[in-house]
Structure 1
Amino acid sequence: MLVENPLLLANEKIIIDRSPGEIRVAVIKNGRLANLFIERSNKPWLRGAVILARITAIRKKLGASFLDLGTASGYIENRKPAKPIEGASIVVQVLADPHRNKSARVSSNICVEGNYLNLYPTAERSSISRKIKSKKKRGLIKQFIADNIPNNMGVHIKYSFDVSDLDLMKATAFEQIANWKNLSEKILRSRPPLTLIPSLGAVGFAITKYPEAKVCDGTNGELFDQYDLEFEISRALDRKVLLDDGAQLVFDEAEALTAIDIDVGSSRTPRSGLDSLVAHLAKEIIWQIRLRDIAGLIFVDFPRFRDSNIKENFLKVLQAFAQCEGLSLIIHGWTRTGLLEITRPRNGSSLKELLVGTVEDDTPALETVALTALRCLLKETAGVAYPEIVCSRSLKRTINGNFEKVLRDISRKLGSTIFLTEDGKMAKDEFLIRNRIK
């Protein structure tokens, strides 16, 4: 890393890479890659979008309804006393993008994000950020809510809310309320499916999640190279995570669950330092769950120590660090077999599923290589008369099929035709960029 870069002095940094066919957003915390959000042109984000959807099917046994969202299907849990009607319209917000063969998860509880407050136009409960500790400030905010937020709407006041400039806060709130009222009128005139508020996408989501982070915007992988993020990403896909003292964590992701094995057999930590070791392990597990975007059912296989206090200390640190890092986890406790059971809400595909895929479907891996090739094409062929990508048949098919428009855009930027040449001797993840010999 380049120490002279002022961004490195910040505790949180957002590094944006806008490359052909995808936008990658890396979040660095305390010098480490903490989060990675990826949005590809062939799979745009739906997460956070507010959509006027159409109910296509009602499944009473599942307690859910399936919806047409326009570009994808969604499902929503049926809640009493509302009774959904097939073919009817419903306004929903996407909570999680489609995952594998599953539909997008949506909710009728709408949240309209703002810089200082989030408006809940379909709810009536209000809340204030826990980070605002001052009783005087909280009192002023409660009065602000009573005076300015309609009784049929809810609001969440963010930490950024400025009680010293209530006129600005009032103007901001009124603008959000007016925008929603305009949308409500549009809904009455519209037919589903219709996107009312588009997703913020990877960039908007990261900036909203880390509002105090310093942002640096780049193109074609240049900033990712500068911060050595390609190496960090490859490490995040490794099955094993080796700690400094020799202990290691092993991550095994399956369709139904993720198993995390803690191996302290090679640890050089003395017995007197076991509490410190397990605290380190707990923090690293939380870090890796967030970075790898592991969700669903998670089991942690903890070593069998004679001292039961060590296990309980591990659990306490795990809970505290998850809360400190804002990671939404449900820790169910220890099973009879000694495994720690955890669940985490799913927002979409895990990092491994997105970049590598599964045994049954390696399309994501091919897409990752294809996008790497297209990124290199822009960086390495300036001034080349006849740029050519030599690759396997499957990679050529992926580029032509999934990123045909991206390839045309690059061709226009370079001002020359790009040739794709198949080489049967090349592996799926291999490619060569060269000047085509006429």
Structure 2
Amino acid sequence: MASFDSVLIGITQNLAPNGVEIALLEDKKLVELHNEKADANFAVGDLYLGKVKKLIPGLNAAFVDVGFEKDAFLHYTDLSPYARSILKFTQLAMNDKDENPFDFAKFQIEPEIIKTGKINEVLNGKPNVLVQILKEPIAAKGPRLSCELSLPGRFVVITPFNEIVAVSKKIHSSEERKRLHKIVEAIRPKNFGVIVRTAAEGKTTAELHQDLLDLTETWKHIQSNLKNALPPAKIMSEQDKTTSILRDLLNEDFNRIVINDKNIYNDTKSYIQRIAPDKEEIVTFYNNGSPVFDTYGITKQVKSAFGKTVNLPSGAYLIVEHTEALHVIDVNSGYKSVSNNQEENALQTNLEAAEEIARQLRLRDIGGIIVVDFIDMKLPDNKRKLQEAMEGFMKTDRAKHAVLPISKFGLMQITRQRMKPEVNINTSEVCPVCNGTGKVSSTLLLEDEIEKRLHYLITHGHKNLTLVVHPIVYSHLTKGFFTSIIKSWRRKYKTRLKVSANNNCHLIEFKFFDEHEEEIKF
């Protein structure tokens, strides 16, 4: 579980026509964006009854029909050592004639398969098999499957067909690890392995036992759903996105959950009452009329964060490019300058960029190989500082990842677990000047861009400036005699800023002129 110590976290949700949007905030900054469609299928964690369609000995893998347009992929290494037990259980559950599911505690576990075995030795005869979605369908690929079944709860994860108890390594106290291990060994149901999650630290036997009871009840539902099922069939869905995020992340640092749909509000309230009664008051219902994402500044953050160019507060910026094989991020200093020392400038810009890159990876859910071209630095100590900083910024990332040292070419390679398609939001809009024949960056950020350029000019000695904009933008900037944006800029930067309207300017075009009426080029 990600660690959010001393960090403000909020979740706001916006009911879209086709599902639920969820934004996760840290210190009012957007770090994760999720979209749960009403008809979502093949999500990570879903359980399906699949039919083995084709064995590929050369890949040591099988293609399994789970109802997707393309057969799903199951590699031998994802079979689980208990694959024969899963096959046996699948057949018994499908053919069970009793009204109630058979007692799983009396199920006889089959011998484990060997790690270096062959796929056709285990799935010979193309049987029906209970599988779990390991990766969602991405691009032209079908889902990736696993037979290493697991059911996550808030404090523990149960793994059927084994007797292993493991405790999260993120619990650093050896005494606490021993305590949890002893408790779980005493209450663990037969034929279930248990992984104790980081959130279990300090929890009582009663709390852990209740979590186990809830999960074993879920397993009984899986048995019931397998009865008389015909492949391909969905056997169990992972909890809805709202509940799963709360289950994985809810801790003492959460201070607000804002929901604008009454049904989701009631469901979430009930869930919080059950798992953390002391947190019930943080759930609030939003009905102010205006979109909840606009009220909390999320819409603006989405517009500024998902474009090809990502601007940083200092004036530096990132260029994010995507190819079929990998993602490439280029760091540019822009007009940032913190000192006359080039090496120090490069380090400070790179550190600022690293923090934003860590956020971008989470926000866009970028997976696979990421190559970052930082600004060149000569000192090995600075390169080491940058790598350590990047590792620190990515600590809160729940996806498995690895950060490699900067190469001799100044490139940093990052790998990040890819579980589902990347979040990709179009931040362009039809250009009003060329009637849709081209596209420009969203006008939502124009005011910020003008002020950023103004700040740069003021700090570089320009005092008497004239700003020329389109008449519509002119009206926006000068609206209100005492409260206009232009007047606030004059007070803030202590400058004699003039503004004029020019019909020859495009809607989002602006120009600065100095005291000699010469245009200042950027």
Same fold (TM > 0.5): yes
Q: In the alignment, which of 378, 390, 399 is matched to residue 306 of structure 1?
A: 378
1:155 and 2:227 correspond: no
Match of 1:347 in 2: 419
Q: In the alignment, which of 262, 266, 271 is matched to residue 331 of structure 2?
A: 262
CA contact (8 A) 1:50 1:197 kept: yes
Match of 1:170 in 2: 209
1:207-218 pair list within 5 angstroms: 207-212=246-251, 213=254, 214-218=256-260
CA apart distance, 1:31:
0.7
Match of 2:435 in 1: none
Structure 1 residues 151 and 334, CA, compared in 2 at 3 Å: closer, same or farther? farther
CA contact (8 A) 2:171 2:201 kept: no
Match of 2:495 in 1: none
Matches of 1:249 and 1:85, distance apart in 2: 51
1:45-84 pair list within 5 angstroms: 46-71=43-68, 73-79=71-77, 80=115, 81=117, 83-84=122-123
CA contact (8 A) 2:403 2:415 kept: yes
1:191-248 deviation line (CA, Å, top 9, x unaligned)? 3222222132332332233223432211597211211222211222211122222222
1:17-166 pair list within 5 angstroms: 17-41=14-38, 43-44=40-41, 46-71=43-68, 73-79=71-77, 80=115, 81=117, 83-85=122-124, 87-150=126-189, 152-161=191-200, 165-166=204-205
Matches of 1:211 and 1:129, distance apart in 2: 17
Match of 1:278 in 2: 350
Structure 1 residues 189 and 304, CA, compared in 2 at 3 Å: closer, same or farther? same
What amino acid does structure 2 have at the position aligned with 1:261?
D
Match of 1:248 in 2: 317
Structure 1 residues 49 and 132, CA, compared in 2 at 3 Å: closer, same or farther? same
1:223 and 2:292 correspond: yes
Matches of 2:154 and 2:377, distance apart in 1: 48
1:361-412 deviation line (CA, Å, top 9, x unaligned)? xxxxxxxxxxxxxxxxxxxxxxxxxxxxxxxxxxxxxxxxxxxxxxxxxxxx
What amino acid does structure 1 have at the position aligned with 2:140?
N
Superposition RMSD on alpha carbons, in Å? 2.8
Structure 1 residues 47 and 237, CA, compared in 2 at 3 Å: closer, same or farther? same
Match of 2:301 in 1: 232
CA apart distance, 1:185:
6.2
Structure 1 residues 304 and 232, CA, compared in 2 at 3 Å: closer, same or farther? same
Structure 1 residues 240 and 180, CA, compared in 2 at 3 Å: closer, same or farther? same
Please, which moves more after superposition, 29-38 or 321-330? Answer: 321-330
1:45-104 deviation line (CA, Å, top 9, x unaligned)? 522211121112222223322222224542121234362236312222112211111111
Structure 1 residues 182 and 200, CA, compared in 2 at 3 Å: closer, same or farther? closer
Long gaps (5+) in structure 2: 1-5, 78-114, 262-288, 429-522
Match of 1:385 in 2: none
1:185-200 pair list within 5 angstroms: 187=226, 189-200=228-239
1:158-205 deviation line (CA, Å, top 9, x unaligned)? 343375631342243134235425534653653322222213233233
Structure 1 residues 334 and 57, CA, compared in 2 at 3 Å: closer, same or farther? farther
What amino acid does structure 2 have at the position aligned with 1:74?
A
1:206 and 2:245 correspond: yes
Matches of 2:184 and 2:321, distance apart in 1: 47
Matches of 1:355 and 1:91, distance apart in 2: 38
Matches of 1:95 and 1:356, distance apart in 2: 30
CA contact (8 A) 1:242 1:248 kept: yes
CA contact (8 A) 2:316 2:336 kept: yes
1:92-118 deviation line (CA, Å, top 9, x unaligned)? 211221111111122111121212211
CA apart distance, 1:151:
6.2
Structure 1 residues 356 and 269, CA, compared in 2 at 3 Å: closer, same or farther? closer
What amino acid does structure 2 have at the position aligned with 1:88?
P
CA contact (8 A) 1:45 1:202 kept: no
Structure 1 residues 163 and 210, CA, compared in 2 at 3 Å: closer, same or farther? closer
Match of 2:487 in 1: none
What amino acid does structure 2 have at the position aligned with 1:347?
M
Partner of 2:183, secondary structure, is helix
1:326-356 deviation line (CA, Å, top 9, x unaligned)? 342123444564322222221222111x658
Matches of 2:392 and 2:365, distance apart in 1: 19
Aligned positions, number: 348
Match of 2:510 in 1: none
1:242-279 deviation line (CA, Å, top 9, x unaligned)? 22222221101122211001112532122346544433
CA contact (8 A) 2:52 2:129 kept: yes
Matches of 2:249 and 2:209, distance apart in 1: 24
Matches of 2:396 and 2:40, distance apart in 1: 32
Matches of 1:202 and 1:14, distance apart in 2: 12
CA apart distance, 1:287:
0.7
Structure 1 residues 169 and 224, CA, compared in 2 at 3 Å: closer, same or farther? same
Partner of 2:381, secondary structure, is helix
CA contact (8 A) 1:55 1:87 kept: yes
Partner of 2:245, secondary structure, is helix
Matches of 1:48 and 1:14, distance apart in 2: 22
CA contact (8 A) 1:14 1:206 kept: no
Matches of 2:373 and 2:52, distance apart in 1: 42
Match of 1:317 in 2: 389
CA contact (8 A) 2:346 2:376 kept: no
Long gaps (5+) in structure 1: 1-8, 358-438
Partner of 2:199, secondary structure, is coil
What TM-score does the superposition give when structure 1 sets the normalisation length? Answer: 0.71
What TM-score does the superposition give when structure 2 sets the normalisation length? Answer: 0.61
Q: In the alignment, which of 292, 296, 304 is matched to residue 364 of structure 2?
A: 292
Matches of 2:300 and 2:400, distance apart in 1: 27
Partner of 1:160, secondary structure, is helix
What amino acid does structure 1 have at the position aligned with 2:403?
I
CA contact (8 A) 1:252 1:260 kept: yes
